[in-house]
Each structure stands twice: as C-alpha cells, then as structure tokens.
Amino acid sequence: MNSPTHQIVRMIKQFKYVIIAVELSFIIAMSQIVNDHMTIPIDSGWSLVESDTTFNLTMLDQSISFPVVATIYHPVKEQTDSTPNIVASGRKINIRKAGSYRIVAVSRDLLTRWGGPINYGDIVYISGAEELSGYYIVEDTMNKRYTMRVDILRTPGAPIAKYDNAKLHMGL
C-alpha cells in the first residue's frame, strides 16, 4: 500500500491539486479586479460564477459534500500548539501572511487516518462561509473534541467568524 508507485501517484495528485488551487486563486483575484459579475471558463469545462461577491462553482452539485460548521483560527499558541508556524502536514508558514496560504484544518473524523475521506494536501471547496467561501488546501487538524468541522486559517487580527450551515465539497 505504500509502494514507490503509490507514493509517486500520490505526489502527482498533490501537485495537480496545488496547480489547480493556484490557477483558481488567480482567476478569482482577477475576476474581482475586472468585473463585478462575470463567468470565467476554466480548462476543465467548469466555470466560476460571481454573484453578490460570493463565488459558486457551477458543478458543486456533482461533488461529494458534507455539512460542516466552518470557523476561523489564527496561528497563535492559544489556538494551536507550541509551534503555530508549523501546520500538521509539516508545512512552515509565515504567521503574518497566514491568510494568503488558503489552508484549512479539518476535524479528525474527516481525515483518512481516522477513517474519513480527506488527506493532507487535498483541495476542498468551502461554501456557505460568505466572503471566505472558496478553495482551500487541507494541511491541518483540529482538536479531537470537534467533529464535522472546518477551521479556516487567517492572519492574526482577522475577525473571527462561525458559519453553522457551511458545506465542504471534495472531488471537484
């Protein structure tokens, strides 16, 4: 199960997801600059549609989704562990730019190592989180007391928020 072939396939999948996330982040940023209401084609045939400053993927209904509570967390010792600049996947982050990484922590019940469907490095789409709805990379784990939750990494000082009716979409 952990053969070199499986490791290579996993690395290729992770690289593909990172490229897609970068492309989508660029498209979203450009569309905010160019126009208030526009549809932007993506090579895969999907399109991002802006409506009232919230982006919706037109094919979300074809993805696997889970109802979750989405919250905000900051990379500070009070909310993480003694190394707030290192997420659970091992990635080091610049705390002053934490919000720019588009990282989420998910509750353990959603991670494969505890029987869930998500791995570190997976790209997910969070909907129902107002202006924070969008694509994120899973790189962190929440405290074991939480279930069916997603924690969005934000730069310290960013306002906290809680979205009780959010959805986590995967398989896009």
Averaged pLDDT, 112-118: 92
Averaged pLDDT, 63-81: 91
**Burial category of 170 from C-beta neighbours within 10 Å (exposed 0-12, middle 13-18, buried 19 and up):** middle
The total of other beta-carbon atoms located within 10 Å of residue 93's CB is 18
pLDDT at 127 over 60: yes
CB distance 75 to 98 below 8 Å: yes
Q: What is the pTM of this model?
A: 0.65
Q: Given this model, what pLDDT does residue 81 score?
A: 87
- Residue 64 or 3, more confident: 64
Domains and CATH numbers, the chain: 4-170 (2.40.40.10)
The 10s digit of each residue's pLDDT in 144-171 is 999 999 999 999 999 999 999 999 998 7
**What span, in angstroms and rounded, lies between the C-alpha atoms of 65 and 145?**
22
